[in-house]
Every structure is written in structure tokens, then in C-alpha cells.
Structure 1
Amino acid sequence: MNLFLKKRLQKKMIGASLLIGVVICMLQFYQVINNYLLYGMDASRIFSESPYTTWIGIDPFNFSPSLFFLLIPIIASVPTATLLRQDINNRFIVQLKLRKSLKQVIWSYAIVAFISGFIVIAVPLLINFGSYFFILPNVKPDDMINSNLTIMNKNTLLVSLYYTHPFFHALLAIIFASFWGGIFSLFTFASSLFIKNKFVALCSGLILQIILLLVNSMLKLPKDISYAPFNFLKEMNNANIDISTVLTVTIFMIAVCLALIKWGGKRSIVK
């Protein structure tokens, strides 16, 4: 089964997804570098700025971070999220059912979808974050010197870790965003079991992202805490967040995906 899925992986789609993510992340890198070239890099900025205050997960000044985190559902879903739907449509799935149980077939595809979604989000973020170590000093951020970033408990999870161990905080942010890339890919995979049109299914994660943003703007939680993934996937966010809401939404989305896969897999393949 695993060997079959490896052969079915479309390297061009994986490459295209990685390319989109890397281009957007390096566009943010270019915007920061261009800003240094235009306005100079005086002594105060040299000692106040570091990879931890400028990488795409923390940048509040450029448009490219918003673009990347908005498009995470699409970027994560392109490689393999609709692969099972494609194999159902072209009847390849019939061959697999002769070799493995229906349950094994469905969850093998689901695992591949999650892992690929995780990887294609992690790689661009790691490249962006790592690139800044070539041009900026590896110094810890300071809550006074870097006050322009307004990093606080309201918009950043585990703030104390950010100031004491910024490298690990950034890595956790990358892992968390990548994990949500896997969740969005899994949601697209689950949606493809109900939606026959491959393109519509591919866009389902992005549609969910936008719907949650719209609903979040109309139906607010106390203290304006956001429950839209777009508003809590960055290391520092442009909305009020708290860890309990973030964990609740994450667990709920995982449960929804698993339930849809269990129901939709039998419905689509048996039919």
C-alpha cells in the first residue's frame, strides 16, 4: 500500500506547492531586505533587530505574511489531499480494495495527506526563518527595545518563552502552523469524499478559512478572542487569542476531519 501511494504521488504538484510557499516566504524576506537598503541599517537597528523580530511569523508590517497564512489551506492541500478522490473517479480504488481492507485504504490516503500538508508548510517557513540568520545577529528580543512589535499575552502564545528562548518559540510556531497545514489538508481530503469536483474540493479548506474569518467578525467571543485559524497561526497575531480557545478549535477540527473521513470514506468508496 505504502509503495503504491509513493508511486501515485505527483512530484510536480508537491513541487508547485513548495514553490508557492517558498516564493511568498522569500518575498517577505525581500521586503525586509529592501527596507534596509532604502532606509539604511543604523546601529540602533542592528542591535534591536534579529531573526526573531523580522521573520514571516512575527512580521506585522508587510502584506506577504497575511497572504501566506491565508493561503495555508490551498498550499497544504495541493500535493495529495484530493488524490483519493482522483483514484475514486478513475476507479484505481477498485484495485486497492482487492489488496487491503477499505479501512486501511482510506486511512493510508489520509495519513499521506496530513504528512504532505505538514511538510509543504514547514519547509517554506524554515527557509524564511533560517535566511535571517545570514543577515541579522542572533540576539534575544527585548520587551523594551522591541516594543514597536507590541508582543503581548493578548496576541502571542507563551510570551515568556518568546523572550527567554526565542529560537524554540519560533520552532514551536512553525510546528504549530505546519500541524494546521496537515489539518487543512486532512479537511480537504475529507471534503473530497463528498465533493466529486476535484477543484471545488481543493478549495474547501480555503473556503472554510474565509467563512471562519467572516463568522468571527460577526459572532465574537468575550474579550474579542478570535477562533479563526488565520488569526492564531502566526507567532505574533493581529487579533486577541488565548491558548484554551486555540486548543479547543484545534481539537474540534481534528474531530470533525476524522468523523468526516470515517463517514465519507465508506459512502464514497462503497458507492
Structure 2
Amino acid sequence: MLNSCFIKIFQRKAFYFAILIGCALSGIYFFMDVYPNIKYGQISPYTSWIESTTGSAIPGLFFTLMPILAALPAADIYRRDVQTGNWNFIATRGKKANYFFHLFTLNFLAGGIVVSISLLFNIYLSFMTMPNIPVDPLINGNIDLVNSSTLFPAFYYQHPFLHMLFYVFLSFIFAGVFANIGLAASLFINKSFIVILIPFIVSNVWNYIGYVFRFDNYIPKVFLVQDSSYFDIQVMPIVITFLILFVIPSVVYIYGVKKFVIR
């Protein structure tokens, strides 16, 4: 069952379409906002990749669309299986519980992979075209990573590349969370299109509440960016946000599976 779900996800056009859109945004950001400035001086990948502060609107667009990109590969697989009749074949084999457990896990991973590949593609472009100049607290002090605009600023200056990968991993986790929000919705909603939109809607409602009540450090669109200037980024709000966005959809998913599928 695990292999079946795995193969099904990686054979879907939606998986590669999501990667294409994510990499396109990363590439557009690089070629429009970074590459033209390389000739004016030596700039570092660490201070110009998609999660750094460059004044571009494209990173904001990327993280706004991230819930949709994460949900595209697999969030509607159960709904598709029901529509195509494949679910009846799975149900008759008596492996319903395994199906939903594996789907939940692989859906999380697929969402994280799509977003991570998009970010790593941008990092690749940066290192292939710019010198690997180490960041310095004095020289690069203008990027404001000496304060609470990022997690672990001391780690950033000591190991900037690992710090970049840490933020890729952080995006991986929250992309998986948004993917599973869509998967939970698929148990209650018949339309695949709406299932894919649900994580985007939840994200925007969450963001709106955060902005209105000034809980900026609880907004994924804010803390997933490596340099979130003007915001106070802390570990605990990120952990709380993850727990809320992970646990509630998980409970809804389990409830939906038990109520509507496994009787």
C-alpha cells in the first residue's frame, strides 16, 4: 500500500506542475531582481536568495501561493480515487486504515518536497552565478540579521549555508502542514478544486487574524522568510503555530476517516 501511494503521487502531473510553478517563481525572482545587479558588485548568495531582503514582491507571492503548491500533488488523491472507482478496489482488499495512514504521511512529504525543490533551485542559481562570499556582522549589518528578524542570528553568521538549509527545512514542514489541511478537507468536500483551495483560504484567514490582532510572529508568511525585517521572530510562536495547524487538521482527518469511511 505504501509503494502504491508513493508511485501514485510521483506519477501525477499535478506533482510536477507544482514544482514547475514553484521553480518558475524562484527563477523569475533570480533573473529579474538579482542577476541584473551582479555586474554592479560582488554580492553574496546568502544576502540575495529568495528568502533574503531585496525589496522584491516575488518572495511574498511565493509564500502566499505555498499552500496551493503544497496541496496540488496529493491532497485530492482520496477524492480522485473515489471518483475513478479505485477506492472500491482498495476497500474490498481490507486495507482502509493503511491507505489513509500512508496517504497522510506521503501527502505531507509531497507538499514539503515541492516547496523545498523550489527553494533549493533558487539557492542553486545563486551559488552558480555569485561568489561564495561569507557574511559578516559588520559588512552585512544592513540586512538586520543581528536582531530578532530571524531565528538564531549567531548561527547565520557562523554557518550561513546551514542556516539557509534550516529555513528550507522549516518551509518543508509548514508546506506539509498545509498539504494535510487540504487532505483533511477532501473527506468532506467532493470538488478537487475546492480541496486544493482550502489550505490557501485557511492560510489567508490565519494571516488576517494575525495582522489584525498584531500576532505577526505567528504568521507563516512572515516567519518562514529568513530575513523578516521589522518583525519579532521567536521560536515559541512558530512551535505553537505548527501545533495548531498540524493537530487540528489531523484530528479532523481522523474524525472524517472514522465517520465516513471506516465504519
User: Which TM-score band (shorter chain)?
Assistant: over 0.9
Matches for 1:1-271 after TM superposition, within 5 Å: 1-9=1-9, 10-36=11-37, 40-42=39-41, 46=42, 49-221=43-215, 225-238=216-229, 239-270=231-262
How far does the alpha carbon of each residue in 1:141-168 deviate from its partner, in whole angstroms, 9 at most, with x for none?
A: 1222223322243220011100110010
8 Å CA contact 1:88, 1:269 repeated in 2: no
Distance (whole Å) between structure 2 residues aligned to residue 197 and residue 77 of structure 1 = 14
Residue-pair matches, total = 261
SS at match of 1:109: helix
Distance (whole Å) between structure 1 residues aligned to residue 94 and residue 4 of structure 2 = 12
Q: Output the TM-score relative to the length of structure 1.
A: 0.90
Q: Output the TM-score relative to the length of structure 2.
A: 0.92
Distance (whole Å) between structure 2 residues aligned to residue 170 and residue 33 of structure 1 = 17
- The runs of 4+ residues in structure 1 deviating greater than 4 Å are none
RMSD of the TM alignment (CA)?
1.8
Q: 1:31 to 1:233 in 2, by over 3 A?
A: same
In structure 2, stretches of 5+ residues that fail to align are: none
AA at the equivalent of 2:2: N
SS at match of 1:155: coil
Bigger Cα displacement from structure 2, 73-82 vs 225-234 = 225-234
8 Å CA contact 1:60, 1:149 repeated in 2: no
Quote how far apart the aligned CAs of 1:34 are. 4.5
Bigger Cα displacement from structure 2, 99-108 vs 204-213 = 99-108
Quote how far apart the aligned CAs of 1:199 are. 1.0
AA at the equivalent of 1:233: L
SS at match of 1:226: helix
Bigger Cα displacement from structure 2, 62-71 vs 145-154 = 145-154
In structure 1, stretches of 5+ residues that fail to align are: none
Quote how far apart the aligned CAs of 1:53 are. 0.4
Distance (whole Å) between structure 1 residues aligned to residue 3 and residue 183 of structure 2 = 20
AA at the equivalent of 2:224: L
8 Å CA contact 1:97, 1:105 repeated in 2: no
AA at the equivalent of 1:41: Y
8 Å CA contact 2:6, 2:106 repeated in 1: no
Distance (whole Å) between structure 1 residues aligned to residue 201 and residue 155 of structure 2 = 33
How far does the alpha carbon of each residue in 1:212-250 deviate from its partner, in whole angstroms, 9 at most, with x for none?
A: 1111111124xxx52111111111124322111111111
8 Å CA contact 1:59, 1:65 repeated in 2: no
Q: Percent identity?
A: 25
Distance (whole Å) between structure 2 residues aligned to residue 5 and residue 121 of structure 1 = 20
8 Å CA contact 1:77, 1:117 repeated in 2: yes
Q: 1:153 to 1:100 in 2, by over 3 A?
A: farther
8 Å CA contact 2:182, 2:199 repeated in 1: yes
